[in-house]
Every structure is written in structure tokens, then in C-alpha cells.
Structure 1
Amino acid sequence: MSGDGDASGASVRRLADWDAEDLRALAAEFGTPLYVDDLARVRQNYARLAGAFPDAEVLFAVKANAGRHVLRTLAAAGAGAECASAGELARALDAGFDPADVHYTAVNPPAEDLDYACRIAAEHPALTVTAGARDTVERLAERGFAGRFCLRVHPGVGAGHSESVSTGKDAKFGVPAADATAVLADAAERGFDVVGLHAHAGSGITNDQIEEHEAVVSTLADVARETDLALEFVDVGGGFGVPYREDEDALDLERVAARTRAALDGVDATLTVEPGRYLVADAGVLLTEVNTVKRVGDTTIAGADAGMTTLVRPAMYGSYHPIRSLVAEERATENVSVVGPVCESTDVLGEDRDLPAPERGDLLAVGNAGAYGVEMASQYNSRPRPAVVALDGDDAEVVRRRETLADVTLAEDTASDPYP
């Protein structure tokens, strides 16, 4: 059931490359809204990226898609895991990642998260813990941490698909570069095993933002040269973008890799990268059914059973996702806006799309939904979250069941139950 266009592992997989008949069959069998993840495509994306960075350690940014099916696929392929929370750390270890290939890189971690990370680090000394603030270094020391330590640096330069994810210039992330060597020395004096540096430009880096990425890498290289400590690795983050719009080109990954290596010239440390979106975005689609059609002037509104609680990126970031009608017959096209069932004006999956004139019961596919799709789904408006199906060749398996109304109130219904 894999899409026809991914057989060669090409760097771009468009929504049109998915087989419409297969997608209709999945919707008929499993219902909608429905996320579909193609594990063969995940493997292809990983192989391409690992090939561009042959001497690097590749850690999957778990926040992009923490589904067990995705994590197990990437662990088997040879990837490590970058975890931004205690929950992601627990998921990565449960999925079978070797602790030596796992980094915990939380930002301002809550006390319970940090307690958990320190306990796991004590049980698995090969695990690496990253901190991005002097306070976090002190909090680790207060907990008796003496394990592998990486410092996150604030480079002051960012990139990404929107200002909301341009983390490199956000002071929330990392220790100022000018203070980094002092913080590294302090961590070493506290008994930490200082092994690395980390920084991240942002999420969704495009071809015209490679210079910003290179500037971030150069900042890390400068810090690595200034410190007297021997570092095992320099982690330049991920954020490698994918083309969401049909007319966008794929990221020139070879160019990114070459510029990254050039910026690290002379630094005696292993390169680490943390791709998330790049590995899973075009491996997933969201299927949704039209239930209401309304024509207002020159605009047609197609109301669907998926909305901002299913895929929040358009509402949160103004993100563009391609939308394709999967109707089998030929129809004249109209200017269509696809909206969801949530009582918000921002509940829009796509506006002003040239689509076949919609009718009730039509099936729509939303592309590039494999990254930050189901991960950011919510129960706002007390709506159950959607199911997820994993494809692996001709096999299709429900890997996350569709929630019910009972799931929406489960935490309240069990509020008096004792904690484990």
C-alpha cells in the first residue's frame, strides 16, 4: 500500500504520489479522521540523510512523531533518539533505543522530569543529558548527577518555517555563547562528564536559510576551540526542512552537509545531527471526510471531520499543507476552503484551494502530516483524537486506536484512583 512515488527513495514525495485507491481503502476500513504513516518511506528518508552525513551520529527528534511504530523503525535502521521530555525519554527506551544513542535535551525541565532523567542516567550511564541554563546545571548537581553532560549554546542566530520555531535566536534556548566555556568548566568541576556541545537554528530550514544554519555551526565550532575540555561530539541540531508547497524544491541536503563540515573544520569531535521533520513529514498523510458543503459567493466551504484538534499546524503557525481530493470521478474544480468542526475561525486546514467541487462523503488527503500532526492533536472542544495506521509494504496495522468520548473524560472519571 505504499505510495507509487516513493519506490526510488526520491528526496521529494508529493501528495500526488500516494495511491488514491489505497487511501480510499484505508479510510473505508479504519474510518476518518485517520493518520497514515508509511514506514518504508521513513526508512528511505533516514537512509538518504545518513548517506549525506556518513560520519555523523544521527538522532531522531522524537517530538516530530513519537509513535512506537516510528521509533522502532528508526531504531532498527540505526538512528539514535533526541528526547525533549521525560515522556519522550521513556518512549525511546521502551522502543529499544540503546541508551548510548539517546540524548535528553529538555528545555527548562520540570522537577519531576529532571528527577526521572537523573534516575535513568544513573541506571544507564551511557545516556547523555543536555542542559541549556546555569540553573539546570545547578539542579543536576543538587540531584547528584555525575553522568555524560552536553551544554546547549544560544547562538543568537535562527532559521525555520516561522518565527515561532526559530529557536536559534530565542534566548529561551541555551547558554549565551560568550558564557559557554565558563559553564562547561563549572560543569566539569562539579564532576559531570562533559562530552559535547549543542545548538539548533530552528525547525523547517530551507535552501535559502543554509547560511543561518552554518552560522550556528560556526558558533559551536568557536566554543569547541575555546574550551580546554576534550569533547566527544558537537551536536548541530536538525530542523532540516521539507517542501510543503507543490512548487517548492527539496532541501539540498548535500550542500547542507558540506557547509556543516566546513564550519566544523579543525574541531576534533564527532558531528551529531538531530533530524525530525525530514524523516517523517512526507511519510504521513491525514485522511478526512467532507460532511458539509456551503457555497458563499465565490468561495466554497468544505466542512470536514478533521480540524485544528486533529492537525493544529495551520491554525498555530499559518502552515501550508497540500490537500488533495480522492474522488474517483472527474469534476469541475472550484475555489475551496477546507475547514473543521471546531468553534474557532482559525479551524482551517487550507484556504483557497483549487479542488474538484466537493460533495458530502468526499475523502480528502492532507499531505506532509507525518511530522507534528498526531503529536500535537488535542481534545479541545472535548473531541476524541484520531486513529493512526502504519503501512509496511502491503501490511496495514492500527498502531493507535481512535479515542472515544469515554477517553475524553477518563482522567476525571479516574481522578480518585490511587497513583501507581
Structure 2
Amino acid sequence: MQAMPLDELAREFGTPAYIYSGDAIEAAIDSFRRGIGNRKALICYAMKANSNLEVLRLFRARDCGMDIVSGGELYRALRAGVPAHRIVFSGVGKTEAEMVEALQAGILLFCCESEAELRTLSRIACDLGTTAPISLRVNPDVDANTHPYISTGLKDNKFGIPHNRIFDLFREMQLMPGIITKGVGFHIGSQLLDLEGFRSAARIMRNLVEELVALAPLEYIDVGGGLGINYGRENPPDAGDYAHTILSELPFEDMTIVFEPGRYMVGNAGVLLTRVLYNKVNQSKRFIICDAGMNDLIRPALYQAYHDFWPLAEMRLERLVRADLVGPVCESGDFLARDRELCDFQPGDLLAVASAGAYSSVMASNYNTRPRPPEVLLSEGRARLVRRRETYADLIHLEVPSRD
């Protein structure tokens, strides 16, 4: 990774540790831009994938905006120096306090997902004496062919407004005080490897836009994110094919197309370093126990996700063993790999869990009262600590002790 030996980083920063490549993130941004070409577009990085401030600053430096889903993410984006006029606010459960914060900051768009949310935002904007810029999120009822937990465009999902309700609601919006209609959008899921879902959703959006512009002018079409990456067994489309698929269905040259990539930008730019603690055999089952667990990388336990592993020292590949790679957490669901042919790892061996740049550190927890790992960014030929390892004191510093 950027010609910096991972074993040296493990010695310097300890394990577990998240390591990110700034060069890889910047290359992904540039690749995505090339895919878009000369179309009028705005890249708003879906920062829920990895919200470290220094990672966000890499996107800011390349003129990207942010897709946020909470007041906390708004705070992070602004602290990273991202201009508010490049921030779009998604999510089905925006609180009134979050709406106030975003309105006062002057964000680009609220991606509204229900009539109730619209009416609440209308009232709050009127109370503040301002106007809320709105993009309606459409639920196109398109099957994204992904894990059900990260499918967001089916009629049974909680996201978006049914497309057969959009016209009536769009008309009603023109009479609501305190809001202005700026656009429409969709987002059908995450880790998508098939372009047909994107094509179907974009085609539905094109038909909607052609009719909606007769009612009111539109400036933005938000096409969400969802482009998948290779975790070791996948063959995802490249950014060029993805962008062409969507843009060819949306021939509205005067409108800005908003893209919200997340995983694609950072997923393969990160690894999780871990160290083997023990080998254990229970009757016919072998376990390789390491110091990273589901509290550090929950994707295998939550989504049954596959991650590749790299030994950080040369190992004889003819000595493979079938084993579970597990962590120290007191749960049978605490695993990083199950029934996998692995190198014959021994206590003290170091390994890197691949594709851990997205939905890893941001989903980490303190379960079992375990400190979260540090985050290290490789940039400009050096390794920089961008989040320190938590201490035991950190784990209790928010608790209010009894005065008895």
C-alpha cells in the first residue's frame, strides 16, 4: 500500500489498526470524474462510508461535495471545510433540530423522503424566515439485486416516495410556504454489481422529469450512489460504464446530475491490520483467533460479507488450512471469515483484512468495552495518525457517576 510496509505500520501503531491510502482515494475520485466527462455534474461523497475528517478533506480538495444523513455528519463536513452549498441532506428521519442546523448552514438540497417530512420542513423554514431547497426522493420499486439490508429502492423499503404519488405531491409542494422545489432523485441500494438496476431507475426518472418540468422548473437530478467494489470475488462495473449507463438515460443537459458515491471511493483504499493471538481446535473445527473482531469490522457478521486477507510475511501457500478467522468478542457471531482456506497462521503473525476502507471504522463499536482502533492515512509518502487509539479512560469519560 503506497510502498509502505504494512508490518512496519503494525509495529508503529499497533493492532488492530485501520490504514487508508490517500493516493487510492484520490485515484478513485479522478476515475469517477473521467467517467462523468463533460456533463454538468456534482460529486457528493456519501460520507457515511468513512467520515474521518482527513478523509473528508481529500474530497474537499478535489471540489467534491458531501451527502450527509445526520446533524453529526453536517458538523463533520463543515469542520472539514466542505462548503455548505455543496452538501445534500438525505435520510428518512431528519429531526427538527437537524433541519434547523442545515437551514442555518445553507445547504444545497434536502432530499425529502415523505410528505410528513416536507410539511415539517415547510413549517420550520417559515419559522426561521427562510426557504428550504427540496429534492424529492423517488422510490422507483427497482430490484437492485443486493443484500436485503442495503436495498433501498423497492416498494417495501422505507426509503423514498412511491413514484405513483410523486405528481400529486409535486403539485401540492408548489403551494407549500417556505420550500422551493429544486430537483428529484433516487437511490436504489448499495454494493451494486449489475448496471440494469441503475438503467431501470434512470429511465423511470427520465419519464418523471419530462412531465414534472411542465409543472415547475428543476435544476437537479440526484442519482444517488451504490456502485459496488471488488471484495475478492466480484467483478463490478467501472465508473465509466456506470456513469454512461445513467447519463445516457438522462439527456437533460441543462440540469446538474448529483452523484453520491461512497463505497466506490474509499472501500478498496483501506485495510484493517490484525495480529493472530491463538490457534484452537474444537474436535474437527479449527479457529484462528486474532485481535480484531466484530466490534472493529462488523460487515461479515451483519451482512455475511466476504473480505480477502493478506499475510504480511511470506508464507508457504502449500500449507493451507480450513478454519474460521474469529475475534476476541464474546459472541459466536464474532468472525471475519468462516470455513475458509487460509494460510497456516501462527500466534504473532500479522495479516491485513482487505477492502476495509468503507463501512468499517464508521460502524465500529465499544462492545465488550473494547477501545476502537486508530486510523492512519498514508499520504505524500508518509503515514499520519488521523485518529488515535481509544483508551480505557475514553470509554467512560461521558458517563456521569453517582454523587452518593
Contact 1:244 1:368 in 2 (8 A): yes
Determine what percentage of the aligned residue pairs are the same residue. 35
Amino acid at match of 1:235: D
Contact 2:324 2:335 in 1 (8 A): yes
Map 1:121-200 → 2, pairs under 5 A: 124=106, 127-144=108-125, 146-159=131-144, 161-169=146-154, 170-191=156-177, 192-200=179-187
Distance across 2 between alignment mates of 1:168 and 1:329? 44
Amino acid at match of 2:113: G
Cα distance change on mapping 1:351 and 1:152 into 2, 3 Å: same
CA RMSD of aligned residues (A): 1.9
Work out which of the residue numbers 44, 63, 67 in structure 1 matches 2:52.
Answer: 67
Work out which of the residue numbers 306, 322, 325 in structure 1 matches 2:292.
Answer: 306
Distance across 2 between alignment mates of 1:403 and 1:235? 37
Distance across 1 between alignment mates of 2:350 and 2:402? 39
TM-score where L is the length of structure 2: 0.92
SS at match of 1:314: helix
Cα distance change on mapping 1:212 and 1:51 into 2, 3 Å: same
Structure 2: segments with no counterpart, 5+ residues: none
Segment of structure 1 superposing worse, 340-349 or 259-268: 259-268
2:257 matches 1:253: no
Distance across 2 between alignment mates of 1:78 and 1:158? 32
Counterpart of 1:10 in structure 2 is none
Map 1:311-322 → 2, pairs under 5 A: 311-322=297-308
SS at match of 2:191: coil
Report how far residue 182 of structure 1 moved. 2.3
Cα distance change on mapping 1:301 and 1:43 into 2, 3 Å: same
Report how far residue 380 of structure 1 moved. 1.3
Contact 1:71 1:92 in 2 (8 A): yes
Contact 2:199 2:249 in 1 (8 A): yes
Counterpart of 2:2 in structure 1 is 2
Residue by residue, what CA displacement relative to the aligned partner does 1:70-123 show, whole Å, maximum 9, x if unpaired?
Answer: 100011012111001111111111111122211111222233323322332xxx
Counterpart of 2:63 in structure 1 is 78
SS at match of 2:201: helix
Counterpart of 2:395 in structure 1 is 408
Work out which of the residue numbers 204, 225, 230 in structure 2 matches 1:219.
Answer: 204
2:318 matches 1:337: no
Amino acid at match of 2:275: E
SS at match of 1:96: coil
Counterpart of 2:6 in structure 1 is 23
Distance across 1 between alignment mates of 2:316 and 2:197? 45
Amino acid at match of 1:105: S
Amino acid at match of 2:9: L
Amino acid at match of 2:136: L
Contact 2:121 2:132 in 1 (8 A): no
Distance across 2 between alignment mates of 1:221 and 1:161? 24
Contact 1:155 1:216 in 2 (8 A): yes
Residue by residue, what CA displacement relative to the aligned partner does 1:161-206 show, whole Å, maximum 9, x if unpaired?
Answer: 3111010114311111111122223223224221111110100010
Contact 2:300 2:337 in 1 (8 A): yes
Amino acid at match of 2:172: D
Counterpart of 2:28 in structure 1 is 45
Amino acid at match of 1:34: A
SS at match of 1:189: coil
Cα distance change on mapping 1:111 and 1:381 into 2, 3 Å: farther
Amino acid at match of 2:11: A
Distance across 1 between alignment mates of 2:345 and 2:402? 44
Report how far residue 160 of structure 1 moved. 5.3
Amino acid at match of 1:194: T
Report how far residue 329 of structure 1 moved. 5.0
TM-score where L is the length of structure 1: 0.89
Distance across 1 between alignment mates of 2:243 and 2:125? 38
